Amino acid sequence: MNSVKAFAPATVANVSCGFDIFGFAIQEPGDTVELTKRDEPGVVITEITGDEGRLPRQAEKNSVTVVMLALLKHLGIKDLGCEVVLRKNMPLGSGMGSSAASAVAGVVAMNELLGNPLSRKELLPFAMEGERIASGSAHADNVGPSLLGGFVVIRSYNPLDIFTIPVPDDLYCTLVHPDIEINTKDARFILRNEVSLKNTIAQMGNVAGLVAGLMKADYDLISRSMVDVIIEPVRSILIPEFKDVKQAAISNGALGCSISGAGPSMFALSRGIENAQNAGKAMQERFASAGIESAVHVSGINQGGAVILQ
């Protein structure tokens, strides 16, 4: 095998009440990575599209190649040479798992090029290193679902313990990206290091309720549990019109609405594609009324995660 092409999808992380422990993948958009072997040893980025020239071209500084270098080091491979082409199909700093999609597509492509020595789950720690480069934190709530598909729960980071839970077939996500940017590092910096016992208890109840609601296909319980009393009140101030956009989604059929990842993208969950589309239209119109353009993506939960295209 001399070349490989891999695709990794966008993701919604945190999912309202599950900061750093919940995430799910959608069908599209996503990033594509192409690897081609070369005679000289070393991993070299030859082209990046869709980033407006903002991402580093040095292999040791880019999420897409840091994961490859970590995998090669783990496997003791020193003489492999390959050229890397990264095609970005979502904005940077979007809250849609942009860096995660690059990292996952990169590590899946390299693993395929090497003959798949590791399983998908074994690739997760390497994909997380891409997040460390991008945001300063090796969190798994974006790379996990982009890599594995489905609705992912991270029970523990040390030791790493991750699993997926079933979701209703008729559950749809509306993901709306306003034309503004929030740096993930900045969005983490403003968070409080300590929270009150009262808020912790409320958040734990909502986390448990959301897991149970998804597994039982109890849409009312899902709706009641999509409440974040810890992260959303702090980060929402970074997103113009947040409260009105959220209310527009719920008033037009969504079960609930919150921030996707670090923002500024917002997501809603709905029962049925029609409700999801109506919520997206209402959210986009509310942003537009404030002079903010936005893009809308409506998708079921992507159960497969990253794929090899060729």
92 labelled ligand-binding? yes
99 labelled ligand-binding? yes
Catalytic one of 34, 184, 232, 241: 184
95 labelled ligand-binding? yes
Find the Cα–Cα–Cα–Cα dihedral 207, 212, 214, 217, rounded to 10°: -150
Q: In what order do the strands lie in the sheet containing 266-271? A: 254-259, 266-271, 171-178, 294-300
Catalytic residue flag (residue 83): no
Look up tokens 């980025």; give the residue.
45
97 labelled ligand-binding? yes
146 labelled ligand-binding? no
Please list the alpha-helical segments (H only) found in 29-97: 63-75
Catalytic residue flag (residue 131): yes
96: Cβ contacts below 8 Å, ≥ 6 apart: 10, 11, 12, 29, 90, 175, 177, 260, 261, 265
Q: Which residues in 136-149 are b (16+ Cβ under 10 Å) and which e?
A: eebbbbbbbbbbbb
Which residues make beta-bridge pairs with 5?
Answer: 34
130 labelled ligand-binding? no
Please list the alpha-helical segments (H only) found in the chain: 63-75, 98-113, 120-135, 143-148, 184-189, 197-216, 219-225, 232-235, 242-251, 273-289
Number of other residues whose CB lies within 10 A of the CB of residue 122: 12
249 labelled ligand-binding? no
Asked if 248 and 286 touch (Cβ cutoff 8 Å), the reply is yes
Catalytic one of 11, 34, 65, 131: 131
Residue positions forming the annotated binding site: 91-101
Residue positions forming the annotated binding site for ATP: 91-101
Q: Which residues are catalytic?
A: 131, 184
